[in-house]
C-alpha cells in the first residue's frame, strides 16, 4: 500500500500539474468508492483545484470551497492524462477533467487494479475532516517523537507503528524497514523500551521516511501500478541482511507478515509464527 512518502510526493506532483486550474468535468466511474452523499460529487465542477496536500496515506484535493479526500488503499493508482480520455479505462474510479490552453484537455484519472474495490472518495464541505478525524499526527510530525519517548503502549511495535489512529502514514513496508534500521524486534513493545531505544526508534522512523520521500520526489507523472519500492528488508526474507548478511527471516500472522534480521533485531532468535508452530506440532 502506498505509504506517507509515496502519497506526499504524489500530492506535490498533482499540485504542480493541476493546481490553479478549473475542474470542468467530474466522471465517477466506480460508485461504490464514493463514501459521502452530500455535497454531491458533481458540485466539484466549476471549482478550482488548489493547495493539494496529503495526510498520512490520504490525498487531500481542495476544489473551490469543497475538499476531495482520496484513499488509494492497496491497489488504487493515479494517472495524469493529456489529452483527457473518455473511456472508462481499466478499473476506472474517478476522472477529474481540466482544460489546457489554448484548446487541449487533461485529466486526473484515479483507477484501481486487481479485483478488490477499496479506493475511498469523500467529498467534504467546510471544515468537515471526514476520515481524517480518526487519524493521529502524521509520522513526520515532531509530536510523534514525544509520543514514542513517553508512550506505555504494550502492543507489538510493528502493530503500533501501523496504527493510523496513533501515527498516520506508516504501513507494513516502512514498519519492517524502520524496525530493522532501529535494530528492534518487531514483537517488542514501546513499554519495554529504554530511553536510548525509544530515541533510536524515532530517529530511524524519520530517517527511513525522509530517505524514501527524497526518492519519491524524483518520480514523474502519476502513480504507476508497479511502485518498485526499494525496501531495506520488507519482503526480502531469505535474502541477506543489508547490514550483517545474515539471512532475513519472516514471521506470519493471520493478516500480515513481518520481515526481520535475527542477528540485528532479535539476538539470534527466530520468532514463532503460525506457520512455524504448525510445523513444530
Binding residues for Zn ion, rule: CB under 5 A, are 241, 243-244, 246, 261, 263-264
Cβ at position 241, least distance to Zn ion in Å: 3
Question: Of the two residues 189 and 246, which places its CB atom closer to Zn ion in the complex?
Answer: 246
Residue nearest to Zn ion (CB): 241
Comparison of 143 and 245: residue with beta carbon closer to Zn ion: 245
**CB of 194 or CB of 267, closer to Zn ion:** 267
Q: Which is nearer to Zn ion, 72 or 233 (CB)?
A: 233
In the 3-class helix/strand/coil scheme, how is the chain assigned residue by residue?
CCCHHHHHHHHHHHHHHHCCEECCEEEECCHHHECCCCCCHHHHCCCEECCCEEECCEEEEEECCEEEEEECCCCEEEEEECCCCCCCCCCEEEEEEEEECCCEEEEEEEEECCCCCCCEEEEEECCCCHHHHHCCCECCCCHHHHHHHHCCCCCEHHHHHHCCCCCECCCHHHHHHHHHHCCCCCCCEHHHCCHHHHHHHHHHHHHHHHHHHHHHCCCCCCECCCCCCCCCCCCCCCCECCCCCCECEEEECCCCEEEECCCCCCCCCCCCCHHHHHHHC
Q: Kindly state the smallest distance separating residue 245's Cβ from Zn ion, in Å.
A: 7
Q: Which is nearer to Zn ion, 162 or 263 (CB)?
A: 263
Q: How far is the CB of 246 from Zn ion (least distance, A)?
A: 5
Residue with C-alpha cell 475542474? 23
Q: State which residue, 197 or 243, has the beta carbon closest to Zn ion.
A: 243
In angstroms, give the least distance from the CB of 180 to Zn ion. Answer: 8
Least Å from the CB of residue 244 to Zn ion: 3
Alpha carbon distances (Å) from 76 to 51, 100, 103, 259: 22, 26, 30, 24
Q: Which is nearer to Zn ion, 67 or 158 (CB)?
A: 158
Q: How far is the CB of 164 from Zn ion (least distance, A)?
A: 29
Amino acid at each position: 500500500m502506498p505509504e506517507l512518502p509515496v502519497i506526499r510526493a504524489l500530492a506535490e506532483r498533482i499540485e504542480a500539474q493541476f493546481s490553479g486550474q478549473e475542474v470542468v468535468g467530474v466522471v465517477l466511474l466506480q460508485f461504490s468508492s464514493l463514501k459521502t452523499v452530500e455535497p454531491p460529487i458533481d458540485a466539484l465542477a466549476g471549482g478550482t483545484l488548489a493547495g493539494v496536500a496529503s495526510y498520512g496515506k490520504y490525498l487531500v484535493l481542495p476544489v473551490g470551497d469543497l475538499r476531495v479526500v482520496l484513499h488509494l488503499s492497496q491497489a488504487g493508482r493515479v494517472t495524469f492524462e493529456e489529452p483527457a480520455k473518455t473511456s472508462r479505462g481499466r478499473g476506472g474510479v474517478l476522472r477529474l477533467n481540466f482544460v489546457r490552453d489554448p484548446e487541449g484537455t487533461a485529466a486526473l484519472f484515479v483507477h484501481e487494479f486487481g479485483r478488490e474495490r477499496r479506493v475511498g472518495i469523500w467529498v467534504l464541505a467546510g471544515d468537515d475532516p471526514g476520515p481524517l478525524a480518526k487519524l493521529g499526527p502524521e509520522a513526520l510530525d515532531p509530536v510523534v517523537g514525544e509520543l514514542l519517548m513517553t508512550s506505555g503502549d504494550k502492543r507489538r511495535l510493528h502493530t503500533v507503528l501501523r496504527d493510523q489512529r496513533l501515527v498516520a502514514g506508516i504501513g507494513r513496508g516502512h514498519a519492517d524497514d524502520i524496525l530493522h534500521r532501529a535494530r528492534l524486534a518487531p514483537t517488542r513493545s514501546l513499554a519495554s523500551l529504554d530511553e536510548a531505544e525509544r530515541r533510536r526508534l524515532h530517529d530511524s522512523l524519520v530517517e527511513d521516511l525522509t530517505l524514501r520521500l527524497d526518492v519519491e520526489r524524483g518520480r514523474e507523472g502519476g502513480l504507476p501500478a508497479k511502485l518498485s519500492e526499494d525496501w531495506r528488508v520488507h519482503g526480502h526474507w531469505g535474502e541477506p541482511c543489508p547490514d550483517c548478511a545474515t539471512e532475513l527471516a519472516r514471521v506470519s500472522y493471520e493478516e500480515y507478515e513481518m520481515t526481520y534480521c535475527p542477528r540485528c533485531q532479535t539476538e539470534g532468535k527466530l520468532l514463532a509464527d503460525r506457520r512455524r508452530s504448525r510445523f513444530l506440532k
